[in-house]
């Protein structure tokens, strides 16, 4: 099974693919998110893994936009804990590290490490896994990288220090996408609850969202995410991203979706899948 993702081999998205599908899935790197979607659309891959939100940085609107542009099914979700490791070529000791390369976002998530080791310089690089590839190929003197454990494995580098991130509560949520009509995948960790993700918009009047949410509340459905996003070029009109507990074939969810369809301007169900545990 070929699975597209954005980034270099060893990226956190590749780790998501392992969590979602096990080690036998074949990761297919792409430079940009739109290329990930296009690869699945033209059938050059069987599935795609995309990040959709991060506990520190919020929702990735670009991928919500692409979910609306294409018509794929979300068949599974995964939460990947973002663990940053100090990684160097084999043979280099921690005392020899002088420069650390990584994506600036990763570097900025390890500021306590740099405060404790003031001799070490920070060097911005394109991405985390790519910085490991570079130090292994070019061996800059005293050069190390910050990236995932998987990146160390992929490029045969060595982890000098594990978990150097400031905040251990850094998780990214990923969706597995497959062609429209694909069945949701079983959760390998047992029977977690079903989730359904949808996007809808409402006309702009006071109480519009309240009325839309009544479709769920009247059926005792539990909402697990809601987020408004201003609609381009339509001041005070919004798209809403919403996740609820339940499956689209459940009687209550079916009725709620029909009701929501009446009060919303636009409604699209992105998929029903087992909640990540």
Catalytic residue IDs: 172, 174
> Applying CB under 8 A, does 103 fall inside the site for a second copy?
yes
Single out the residue of 274, 213, 248, 270 nearest to residue 52, CA to CA. Answer: 270
- x/- binding map, residues 196-225, to a second copy, per CB under 8 A? --------xxxx-xxx-xx-xx--xxxxxx
Residue 106 beta carbon to a second copy: minimum distance, rounded to whole angstroms:
11
> Applying CB under 8 A, does 170 fall inside the site for a second copy?
no
> Applying CB under 8 A, does 38 fall inside the site for a second copy?
no
Exposure class string for 52-91: b at 16+ Cβ within 10 A, else e: bbbeeeebbeebbbbbeeeebbbbbbbebebbbbbbbbee
> Applying CB under 8 A, does 255 fall inside the site for a second copy?
no
- x/- binding map, residues 122-161, to a second copy, per CB under 8 A? x-xxxx----------------------------------
Is beta strand 143-147 parallel, antiparallel or unpaired with respect to 99-102? parallel
Residue 242 beta carbon to a second copy: minimum distance, rounded to whole angstroms:
9
Closer residue to a second copy in complex, CB, 65/149: 65
Two structure tokens written together for 84: 């940053």
E strand intervals along the chain: 2-6, 26-30, 47-54, 58-59, 72-81, 85-88, 99-102, 121-124, 143-147, 158-161, 171-179, 194-202, 223-230, 238-245, 266-274
> Applying CB under 8 A, does 262 fall inside the site for a second copy?
no
- Give yes or no for a contact between 158 and 114, defined as CB atoms under 8 angstroms apart: no
Residue 217 beta carbon to a second copy: minimum distance, rounded to whole angstroms:
4
Closer residue to a second copy in complex, CB, 3/106: 106
Give the total of residues touching a second copy (CB under 8 A): 42
Residue 54 beta carbon to a second copy: minimum distance, rounded to whole angstroms:
9
- Which range, of 21-29, 68-76, 80-88, 103-111, touches a second copy by CB under 8 A? 103-111
Closer residue to a second copy in complex, CB, 18/228: 228
- Give yes or no for a contact between 47 and 178, defined as CB atoms under 8 angstroms apart: yes
How many C-beta atoms lie closer than 10 Å to residue 28's C-beta?
Answer: 20
Residue 61 beta carbon to a second copy: minimum distance, rounded to whole angstroms:
6
- x/- binding map, residues 43-72, to a second copy, per CB under 8 A? ----------x-xxxxxxxx----------
Q: Cβ contacts of residue 56 below 8 Å, gap of 6+?
A: 109, 167, 169, 170
Residue ranges in contact with a second copy by CB under 8 A: 32, 53, 55-62, 103-104, 111, 122, 124-127, 169, 204-207, 209-211, 213-214, 216-217, 220-228, 230, 232, 236
């Amino acid at each position: 099974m070929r699975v597209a993702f954005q980034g270099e081999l060893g990226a956190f998205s590749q780790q998501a693919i392992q969590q979602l599908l096990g080690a036998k899935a074949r990761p297919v790197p792409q430079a940009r998110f739109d290329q990930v979607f296009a690869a699945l659309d033209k059938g050059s891959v069987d599935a795609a893994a995309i990040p959709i939100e991060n506990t520190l940085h919020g929702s990735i609107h670009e991928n919500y936009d692409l979910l609306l542009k294409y018509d794929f099914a979300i068949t599974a979700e995964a939460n990947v804990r973002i663990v940053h490791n100090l990684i160097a070529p084999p043979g280099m000791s921690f005392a020899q590290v002088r420069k650390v390369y990584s994506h600036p976002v990763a570097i900025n998530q390890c500021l306590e490490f740099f405060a404790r080791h003031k001799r070490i310089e920070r060097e911005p690089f394109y991405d985390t896994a790519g910085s490991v590839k570079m130090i292994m190929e070019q061996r800059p003197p005293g050069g190390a990288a910050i990236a995932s454990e998987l990146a160390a494995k992929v490029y045969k580098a060595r982890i000098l220090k594990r978990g150097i991130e400031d905040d251990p509560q850094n998780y990214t949520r990923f969706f597995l996408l497959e062609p429209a009509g694909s069945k949701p995948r079983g959760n390998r960790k047992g029977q977690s609850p079903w989730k359904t993700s949808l996007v809808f918009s409402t006309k702009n009047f006071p109480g519009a969202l309240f009325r839309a949410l009544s479709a769920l509340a009247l059926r005792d459905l539990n909402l697990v995410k809601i987020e408004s996003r201003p609609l381009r070029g339509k001041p005070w009109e919004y798209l809403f991203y919403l996740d609820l507990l339940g499956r689209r074939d459940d009687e209550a969810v079916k009725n709620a979706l029909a009701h929501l369809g009446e009060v919303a301007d636009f409604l699209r169900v992105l998929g029903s899948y087992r909640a990540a545990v």
